[in-house]
Each structure stands twice: as C-alpha cells, then as structure tokens.
C-alpha cells in the first residue's frame, strides 16, 4: 500500500476506537451544569446564555430530530454530537502527528518503510492519548460545546499543515480560505478556536519566508491584531457600529413623551439593514477590484473575510429565535439594544486584564460611559434609560490579579492569605498593603498552578479524586492515603514523560514545528488563564476549558514514540517498530484502563 493509504487507514482506525469508547461511555440523559440547558435549547432552538452557541444548537437540533419524536431519547442523541466531534478530534490529532513525524524524519537515515512505521505509531499513540485524556473524555460524553470546539481546533491545525504540503501548487490559497470559513463556523460554537490564529500564522511565516527575528515578531503582532479584530471587531464592534446607524436613522428621545428627539425617525432596524447592505457592497466591490487588478493578496483577504462572515452568520439564529419568544430566551436579544448587550456579554461584568485596580483600591471619581437606551411600546424612537457609569480608582497597576473585593477571605486562596502587611481590621481589606510580588504570587499559585497546571497533571500524571479542588497523584507517592473514589487514577508520570521526550525529539529534528506546537499549547492553555483572570472559590472545576491545550500535548506524547525509535533502532534493527510501538502504547492504554470507571456514564440517568 502507498503511504497515503496507510495514513488514511491509521487515522480512521483511531477514529473507530474513539467512536467505540465514547459510545460505550456516553451519558444516556442530561448531565449537570450547562448540559440540560444546551439539550433543551438545541431541541427547540431556544436562546442559551451569552454569547450563545448557534451552530452547536443547529447541529444539536439535527441530532435531536434523529430521535424521531421519542422524547426520552432526545438528550442521548444530542450527547452523541459530542461523541462524534471528539472521535473526529482524535482522527485529526493522529493525522497531524503523522505529518509532523514525516517532516521530522525527512532528513534522517531511516529507510522509507521504517519512517512510515514510525510515523503511523506516533499518530496512533497521539490519537489514543487524546481519546483517553481525562478532560477530553469528560467533554466527549456530554452535551456541551467544548467537544465540538476541540474538533474545530484540531481541524484547522491539520488543514494548515496540509496547506504547507501544497503551498507551491496552483490553488493552494483555497486551503487558507477554507480555514477562514471553518473558523467562522467555529465561533458559532465557542471563541476558543480563535486562539489557533497565532500558531497558524507562524506556520504560514515559516513556509513562505526565511526566519528573522523582526519577521517573527511582525508575524506575532499581525496575528495578535487579527485575533483581536475578529473577537472584538467582528463579534462586538460591528454591533456597536450597527447601533450608531440605528441612532442616526431611527433616533432617540429623552423620555416616553418624545422630548429632544434625534435621528431621522425611520422604523426600527433601518440603520442595521443599511449597514449590512453597505458592508456587503463594500466586500463585493473590493472582491471585484481585486479580480480586475489581479491582486492575489487582496483577493485572498477579502474571500477569507467573506467566508468568515458567512460562518459567523449563524449568530442571526439568536436574533431570529428570540423574536418568537421561546421558553428559554436568555437576555431576550430580540432588538439591536439587547442583542448588542448579549454579544458583548455585559451580564458577566468587566475584569482587568493588562491594567486595573487591586481589590483594596478606593473609588475616587465616577466616569460617565454614555447613555443606555430601551424600547417602549408606542414610542417610535429609542428612549433614554439610565446613564452608564464606571468607577475611577485611586491607583491602578499593571497586570492586576487580586482585584475582586468580595474574594478577600474566600477559602484557601482568598487574598488575605497572600498579603503580609495587613491593616488593623483583619475583616476589612481596605487598609491592606499588597505588594506587586504578592499579587504575582497569587497568579502563580492559584491562577497558573491550581487552575491550569493541576488540571494538566490530572491528564498526564494522575488524579487523586473527583472532589472539588482535588490535587494530582501519580501513584509513586509513599504513604498514599487509601480511597475508594473511582477518579483516583494513577499514570505514574508515563504520559508526561513520553510527551517531554516527544518535545525533545521535535526540538532536535524540526525546531520550527516545535515552535508552532509550543505556541498552540501556550495559547490554548496559559493564555486563557491570563485572559480569564479568575478569582478564587470558583463554583466548579474548569479543566474543560483547556482541552485544546491538553490535546496539543497529546501530539508530543505521540512524537515521544519517535524518540524511542531513535534510542532503540541501533540495537533492535528491524524489530524496532514492534518494541518501540509496544512501549509507546503503554501510557495511553494505562490512561484508558485507569479512567474507564469514572468516565463511563452508562446507566446514569442523571449525573
């Protein structure tokens, strides 16, 4: 068989294993937290919590219809959406690793048959590790958005590496446009997929240009600007711009009596419609111009932007369904005002990212942010409601982490435990003097370690239990307390060790690919921690958010098999694939055995 046939069979074999495992362990009904909401909203196309997941709901609706009016099976069928998505995730992780292996082995002295065997074993190990990883498996068997989001993450990375293989062929830019469309669709599930943009940009840069530090930094800056332009521009600013059009064409009044009218007084929605028409006209005009001038760069950018917008168009579902007043209609986003608030996630409030006050800063002034408006029946303009205001504090710092006053004395990670110079009133935080070092220590101790590294070790070292705030446990500790908790899983550091070997192998054989995977690992893990800026005493574990980071590390676990190949090849000769493959399969098989009893939801009517 050809390499392509072997690669295809290997990937689909991993897919079938994943599908079987997840089908045997999928939840038969709704699970706790958001699962019931997503099942109900998918089945009847209702409005979920901001900022919504319209594509997930549409696909969930299709799955629910396959229950053929058997209400008792609707939840199970919608759960299967996560099963299918996670099985495809394992498939694309496998195929991505076989590409990475092929690129890394290209300049070695292995014969082609040995290279093929090594690459396929690496792909299988990566795929199986992804299947059995604690957080990935958890997402795969319930009705939540994270399994489908992980699928899109794995898909776009694989597509980008496929583009690399065809970058010199005619029509290669079609792959870039396809990736843009997939990312547009992915935002209708969760925004996590946008975090792949810097890694994808780095792949493009390495393929098209010679490496220089200025070029590398420029690529990172452009990719960061692109990420921000999609997250804040397309998903938020475009609705703010629509509100500006509405104010001009429809107008506002100071009160229901019609005092101080502004605008043209045209019907509600006129401004939004005009803005959409102008946006479509602008895109069409630029596309036509790029074709006539044969400007390939402009044409690719405009086509990518267009298909991205087409993917984003799933968000019209939120507006359409809210206008029919379904039973679940969170925030009621049926007009431009409530829809803008919904898309901006205003109900969650703000949190400082790069600069802001610490928890004990005192407000010294009030900044006016602008007027909020509402709709009142019988009034033909938007009516002034309340003025939006924001506190101005006496001092602000860079990179604030301890910022939420009501978390001052909440549990073991309350801010009081990090500050030495406390005031005379231990119950009041306002006379404390937290230092920047103490604030950063909170970041390292709670946000980075407790809310990310601990989860990472759950997936690749072992887990003590499924009790809230449980730590990791490898199985090699002395005097471990006995427990009958099913989530007491031990991997003896083997997956972590093999992943580190894979990283070392990739650094030796292809530093550029190692940089790409490392950046993807960072963006889907630590970067989320920095952005979320979480306060202590979270209501539940948050490991599901970092599944993209964990599935990325699974690639290095797979590449660890190639390290074993290099180490054993000299002594074992033709038996190397058999021995190295057997050794590399131990970690994922161990993960599967250890995790099965606490990840299977078979027979659980309610988790």
The DSSP secondary structure of 260-306, one letter per residue, reads S--S--PPTTHHHHHHHHHHHHHHHHHHHHHHHTT-HHHHHHHHHHH
The predicted pLDDT at position 132 comes to: 97
The predicted pLDDT at position 607 comes to: 45
Q: Where residue 388 falls among pLDDT bands split at 50, 70, 90?
A: confident
Retrieve residue 264's tokens.
Answer: 């043209």
DSSP class of residue 47?
Answer: B
Q: Is 586 helix (H, G, I), strand (E, B) or coil?
A: helix
Retrieve residue 259's tokens.
Answer: 């005092």
In DSSP terms, 457 is beta-bridged to none
pLDDT at 487 exceeding the cut of 70 = yes
Arithmetic mean of pLDDT over the chain: 91
Burial class of residue 542, CB neighbours in 10 A (0-12, 13-18, 19+): middle
CA 247 to chain centre: 35
Q: Where residue 71 falls among pLDDT bands split at 50, 70, 90?
A: confident
Give the whole-number percent of the chain exceeding pLDDT 70. 100
pLDDT at 488 exceeding the cut of 90 = yes
pLDDT at 259 exceeding the cut of 60 = yes
Helical H segments across 315-453, by residue range: 316-322, 336-343, 436-442
ω before 485 within 30° of 0 (cis)?
Answer: no
- pLDDT tens across 46-56, in order? 999 888 899 99
From the CB of residue 273, how many other CB atoms can be counted at a distance below 10 Å? 15
The predicted pLDDT at position 606 comes to: 64
pLDDT at 244 exceeding the cut of 80 = yes
* Whole-number Cα distances in Å, 326 to 314, 330, 332, 345, 346: 18, 10, 9, 20, 22
* Entry pTM: 0.93
The predicted pLDDT at position 191 comes to: 87
- pLDDT tens across 164-220, in order? 999 988 889 999 999 999 999 999 998 889 999 999 999 999 999 999 999 999 999
- pLDDT tens across 285-329, in order? 999 999 999 999 899 999 999 999 999 899 999 989 999 999 998
Interval 379-397 mean pLDDT: 87
| Among 442, 489, 420, 480, residue whose Cα is nearest residue 135 | 489
Distance CA 371, CA 387 (A): 4
| Strands annotated E in 155-301 | 252-253
pLDDT at 494 exceeding the cut of 60 = yes
Distance CA 593, CA 492 (A): 13
Q: Which of 213-222, 446-455, 598-607 has the lowest mean pLDDT?
A: 598-607
| Among 370, 381, 369, residue whose Cα is nearest residue 335 | 381
Q: How far apart are the first and last CA of the chain?
A: 46
Q: Where residue 579 falls among pLDDT bands split at 50, 70, 90?
A: very high
Distance CA 545, CA 438 (A): 26
Residue with tokens 């970041």: 443
| Among 432, 404, 403, residue whose Cα is nearest residue 420 | 432
147 φ, ψ (degrees, to nearest 5): -65, -45
Torsion sign, CA atoms 309, 314, 316, 318: negative
The predicted pLDDT at position 573 comes to: 81
- Higher pLDDT pick, 606 / 469: 469
Retrieve residue 581's tokens.
Answer: 């493959």
* Whole-number Cα distances in Å, 353 to 103, 350, 407: 38, 9, 17
Q: Is 373 helix (H, G, I), strand (E, B) or coil?
A: strand
Distance CA 414, CA 442 (A): 9
Q: Where residue 8 falls among pLDDT bands split at 50, 70, 90?
A: very high
Biggest CA–CA distance in the chain, Å, is 90
In DSSP terms, 374 is beta-bridged to 383
Parallel/antiparallel/unpaired status of strands 363-374 and 462-463: unpaired
pLDDT at 551 exceeding the cut of 70 = yes
pLDDT at 380 exceeding the cut of 60 = yes
The predicted pLDDT at position 483 comes to: 85
Helical H segments across 66-111, by residue range: 74-105
Give the whole-number percent of the chain exceeding pLDDT 90. 63
Give the side-chain half-sphere CA count within 13 A for 58.
16
Burial class of residue 129, CB neighbours in 10 A (0-12, 13-18, 19+): buried
């Amino acid at each position: 068989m050809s390499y392509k046939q072997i690669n295809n069979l290997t990937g689909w074999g991993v897919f079938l294993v994943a599908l079987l495992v997840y089908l045997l362990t999928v939840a038969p009904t709704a699970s706790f937290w958001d699962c019931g909401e997503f099942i109900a909203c998918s089945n009847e196309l209702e409005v979920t919590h901001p900022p919504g997941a319209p594509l997930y709901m549409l696909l969930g609706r299709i799955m629910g219809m396959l229950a053929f009016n058997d209400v008792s099976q609707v939840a199970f069928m919608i759960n299967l959406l996560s099963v299918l998505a996670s099985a495809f995730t394992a498939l694309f992780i496998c195929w991505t690793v076989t590409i990475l292996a092929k690129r890394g082995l290209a300049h070695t002295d292995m014969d082609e048959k040995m290279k093929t065997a090594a690459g396929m074993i690496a792909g299988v190990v990566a795929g199986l590790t992804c299947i059995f990883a604690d957080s990935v498996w958890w997402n795969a068997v319930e009705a939540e958005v994270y399994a489908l989001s992980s699928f899109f993450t794995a898909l776009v990375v694989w597509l980008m590496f496929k583009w690399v293989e065809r970058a010199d062929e005619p029509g290669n830019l079609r792959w870039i446009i396809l990736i843009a469309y997939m990312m547009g669709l992915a935002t209708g599930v969760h925004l996590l997929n946008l975090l792949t943009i810097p890694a994808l940009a780095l792949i493009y840069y390495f393929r098209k240009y010679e490496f220089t530090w200025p070029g590398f930094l420029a690529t990172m800056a452009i990719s960061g600007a692109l990420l921000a332009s999609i997250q804040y521009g397309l998903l938020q600013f475009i609705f703010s711009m629509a509100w500006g059009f509405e104010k001009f064409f429809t107008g506002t009044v100071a009160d229901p009596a019609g005092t101080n009218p502004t605008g043209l007084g045209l019907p509600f929605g006129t401004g939004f419609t005009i803005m959409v028409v102008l946006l479509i006209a602008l895109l069409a005009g630029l596309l036509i111009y790029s074709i006539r001038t044969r400007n390939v760069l402009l044409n690719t950018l405009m086509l990518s932007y267009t298909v991205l917008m087409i993917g984003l168009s799933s968000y019209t579902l939120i507006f359409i369904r809210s206008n029919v007043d379904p039973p679940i209609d969170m925030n009621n986003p049926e007009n431009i005002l409530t829809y803008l608030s919904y898309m901006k996630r205003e109900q969650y409030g703000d949190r400082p990212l790069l600069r802001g006050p610490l928890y004990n800063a005192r407000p010294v002034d009030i900044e006016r942010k602008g007027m909020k408006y509402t709709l009142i029946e019988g009034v033909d303009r938007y009516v002034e409601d309340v003025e939006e205001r924001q506190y101005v504090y006496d001092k602000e710092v860079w990179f604030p982490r301890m910022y939420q006053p009501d978390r001052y004395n909440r549990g073991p990670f309350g801010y009081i435990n990090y500050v030495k110079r406390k005031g005379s009133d231990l119950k009041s935080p306002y006379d404390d003097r937290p230092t920047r070092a103490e604030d950063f220590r909170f970041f390292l101790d709670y946000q980075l370690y407790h809310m990310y590294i601990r989860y990472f070790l759950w997936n690749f070292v072992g887990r003590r239990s499924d009790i809230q705030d449980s730590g990791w446990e490898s199985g090699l500790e002395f005097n471990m307390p006995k427990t009958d908790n099913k989530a007491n899983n031990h991997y003896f550091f083997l997956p972590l060790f093999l992943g580190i070997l894979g990283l070392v192998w990739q650094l030796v054989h292809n530093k550029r690919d190692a940089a790409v995977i490392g950046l993807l690992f960072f963006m889907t893990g630590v970067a989320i921690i920095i952005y979320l800026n979480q306060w202590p005493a979270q209501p539940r574990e948050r490991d599901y958010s970092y599944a993209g980071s964990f599935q990325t590390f699974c690639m290095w676990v797979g590449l660890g098999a190639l390290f074993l190949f290099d180490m054993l090849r000299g002594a074992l000769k033709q038996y190397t694939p058999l021995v190295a493959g057997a050794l590399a399969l131990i970690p994922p098989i161990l993960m599967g055995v250890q995790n099965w009893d606490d990840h299977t939801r078979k027979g659980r009517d309610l988790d």
